[in-house]
Chains A and B, each alone.
Chain A
């Protein structure tokens, strides 16, 4: 494989967890719930996945454990925010802080352990195309699942009744309630589904991408995924695009470090975070653009009958 192919392949690999988490958060936010706990859910899922893979050697179980951990934490968040009407920002922050502490605690015994590199799937014929073949068609299966998921979520949101209802409870929960939809139950479902996807992303990071455990392994990717949903103006295809752009940025940074570009690695390590800030600033400049695209009741509690 030549360098371009390697870089492309690595871009997709590092974009995949962002895509999975971003799509999960998109589901949350389309339903009107902002979960700032993404980082914490991903961290707990990462250690859950890692520990499972370490103990059983089964990736499927590891991903299931990750998704369950993410979904479980999201359930706690959902019950507090939707059931008890706690402040969404504060509760999400609590989830992130708790996740950071809990994952470090559980992971203390796993620091420095490594898993073997995971097998990739090569699509026959396509993976033999020069340059693009090895880059795009030799990936871990989850990379493709992220792609399929994006298509599925887009179809669901825009082409099915379920998607219409989901968008309705995010735009105007009052109307959805008046039409007889159980707004709070549906929101809880969306929150748990989003959390499970964040969990899958976390498990991918620790089991496939790293594949090891260190404290704070997620390194802000949960927060970047949150920024991605705004960057994508809450559209699935753009979440995917944004995820690969950020993945590419991370990889260019690694590539520059190994290629001996005379910039201290610390400046390069800032790149993804600085880029997130710049992107946020640029896309937020036009308030009407954001207002038109943002789910109208995002972050607002809804409690019928009061």
Chain B
């Protein structure tokens, strides 16, 4: 028999290995599921883990989809390290997209005929502010009323989705859009232009690695990051040291809200170029998985963002090429997080053979 025995120190090697073991286990279970569904398991795994990176164009799509995941997850990592449980990145992303869309509509009326891409930055700024404002609601309610940030931030996701629905079914609906719930396509002046002709990967994607570096500096090379992490790991010690927990709360939420809003604005200015009710397919929730699989570390998050982006695209491919529901991707994502949390037991413990 085996038993768990606590390690004297958490194992760094296991911390890095654990996501890989979890990924391997997910792939094994996935293969089993493909067999159960009557599909060739190797072909199934290929659709999820090989085809998304088979060629430059597919890779550009993976990076395109990884960008908002990484942006949201970087903010969430700061939150979780500070023990602030923001799970409403999805809502902050949607409001960022709404703000960017509003600015695009306004600018396209006020400044017609501007050169391609010249106004994209204004959309991104609006997105950041929109996301920050939405996260500020959660921070304010937590700060003033002590309301649980998990539930408030999650409830605000549903409110944000209804707000988006209201706008695209109502006042912002394209009059020439055959009654489809969508705004007009925004003019080319508001677009984030592609990095290469023929791909959708845009300049904004370069921000993700840059912001990952910035997040690393913030977390591991700045006083503020130190304060945040002490506040998260040992609230009493932080209080004794005079670190303000209120400040940490506001800082973490505004930062993650701003990053999620930026991600939303990039979706609007980049690939989508209009507002629709189906703007986000759970990016803010997938980002939570990215955050944990990436070990709440910026470098890990970039890698995990690419992995989860592959799984999202794999789901789409599974639908078109294998005739399986797109939701399969969600099953694998959930499984991955589950298995990861289970494997993480081995970071703080080790397996020992039980003495007879």
Contacts and interface: CB of A to CB of B under 8 A. Distances in A.
Nearest to B337: A94
B10 interface: no
Contact of A105 (B152, B154, B330, B337): B330
Interface string A59-86: 0000000000000000010001000111
A284 B292 CA distance: 29
B156 A277 contact: yes
A108 B288 contact: no
Interface in A218-276: 219-220, 223-224, 226-227, 230, 264, 266-267, 269-270, 273-274, 276
Chain A CB count within 10 A is highest, among B148, B155, B159, B163, for B155
B6 interface: yes
Contact of A100 (B145, B159, B169, B334): B334
A266 B163 contact: yes
Interface string B323-356: 0010111111111011001101100100000000
B158 interface: yes
Contact of A223 (B155, B292, B333, B344): B155
A224 B150 CA distance: 12
A285 B152 contact: no
A305 to B, nearest CB: 10
B166 interface: yes
A65 B228 CA distance: 45
A90 B151 contact: no
B151 A280 contact: yes
Contact of A97 (B85, B151, B330): B330
A108 B325 contact: yes
Contact of B162 (A266, A277, A280): A266
B337 A98 contact: yes
Contacts of A94: 334, 337-338, 341
Interface in B4-36: 4, 6
Chain A CB count within 10 A is highest, among B85, B148, B162, B288, for B162
A108 B327 contact: yes
B44 to A, nearest CB: 14
A100 B151 CA distance: 17
Nearest to A220: B158
A80 B338 CA distance: 9
A130 B273 CA distance: 57
Contacts of A224: 155
A101 B341 contact: no
A282 interface: yes
A102 interface: yes
B96 to A, nearest CB: 18
A93 interface: yes
Interface size range of chain A in the complex = 35 or more
B165 interface: yes
A293 interface: no
Interface residues of B, number: 46
A218 B331 CA distance: 17
Contacts of A270: 158-159, 162-163
B345 A266 contact: no
B285 interface: yes
Chain B CB count within 10 A is highest, among A84, A97, A285, for A97
A41 to B, nearest CB: 12
Contact of A264 (B170, B282, B341, B342): B170
A97 B338 CA distance: 10
A97 B337 contact: yes
Contacts of B156: 273, 277
Contacts of A290: 146
Given A223-B154, A273-B159, A230 B87 contact: no
Contacts of A273: 155-156, 158-159, 162
Contacts of A267: 162, 166
B345 A226 contact: no
Contacts of A95: 334, 338
A121 interface: no
B147 interface: yes
A128 B280 CA distance: 50
Contacts of B133: none
A127 interface: no
Contacts of B165: 266, 269
Interface in A13-50: 36, 40
Interface in B129-183: 141, 144-148, 150-152, 154-156, 158-159, 162-163, 165-166, 169-170
A158 interface: no
Nearest to A81: B341
B218 to A, nearest CB: 22
B334 A306 contact: no
Nearest to A226: B151
A215 interface: yes
Contact of B333 (A90, A101, A266): A101
List of 6 A-B pairs having minimum Cβ-Cβ separation, nearest first: A101-B330, A98-B334, A104-B327, A266-B166, A108-B325, A281-B145
23 contacts: A84-B342, A86-B342, A86-B344, A89-B85, A89-B150, A94-B334, A94-B337, A94-B341, A98-B333, A98-B337, A101-B333, A104-B327, A105-B331, A215-B327, A270-B159, A273-B155, A274-B155, A277-B151, A280-B147, A280-B148, A281-B145, A284-B145, A284-B147
Given A105-B327, A264-B166, A266-B165, 5 more contacts: A97-B285, A98-B338, A230-B148, A264-B170, A284-B147
Interface of A: 36, 40, 76, 80, 84-87, 89-91, 93-95, 97-102, 104-105, 108, 215, 219-220, 223-224, 226-227, 230, 264, 266-267, 269-270, 273-274, 276-277, 280-282, 284-285, 287, 290, 306
